[in-house]
Amino acid sequence: MDTDGVTLGLIEIADSIKSMEIRGAGLIARSAAEALRQQAQEYQGDDLAELHRRLEGSRRSLISSRPTAISLWNAVQATLRGSSKATETEELRALVISNADRFIERSSKAVEIIGRIGSKRLKSGMAVLTHCNSKAALGVIKAAHADGKDISVYATESRPWRQGLLTVRDLSAAQIPSTLIIDSAVRWIMKEVDIVLVGADTICSNGALINKIGTSQVALAAEEARVPFIVCAETYKFSPKTVMGELVEIEERDAREIVDPRELPAGVKVRNPVFDSTPAEHIDSIVTEIGVVSPYAAYEVIVRELGQESIFEANEG
What amino acid positions are annotated as catalytic residues?
Answer: 132, 201
Candidates 24, 57, 207, 240: give the one binding ligand RUB (CB under 6 A). 24
d(CA 158, CA 274): 10
The CB-nearest residue to ligand RUB is 199
CB 170 → ligand RUB: shortest distance, Å? 11
Binding to ligand RUB by residue 23, rule CB under 6 A? yes
Look at strands 229-232 and 195-198 and give their pairing.
Answer: parallel
Footprint (CB under 6 A) of ligand RUB, residues 84-143: 132, 134-136
CB 23 → ligand RUB: shortest distance, Å? 4
Binding to ligand RUB by residue 25, rule CB under 6 A? yes
Binding to ligand RUB by residue 278, rule CB under 6 A? no
Footprint (CB under 6 A) of ligand RUB, residues 36-75: 69
Footprint (CB under 6 A) of ligand RUB, residues 160-219: 161, 163, 199-201, 211-212
Q: Chain centroid to CA 127: how far?
A: 24
Q: Which is nearer to ligand RUB, 136 or 311 (CB)?
A: 136
What phi and psi, each to the nearest 5 degrees, are found at residue 293?
-125, 155
Strand blocks (E) in the chain = 127-130, 152-156, 178-181, 195-198, 202-203, 209-212, 229-232, 275-278, 285-288, 291-293
Question: What Cα–Cα distance (Å) separates residue 182 from each residue in 86, 130, 179, 194, 268?
Answer: 52, 12, 10, 19, 24
Residue ranges in contact with ligand RUB by CB under 6 A: 23-26, 69, 132, 134-136, 161, 163, 199-201, 211-212, 274
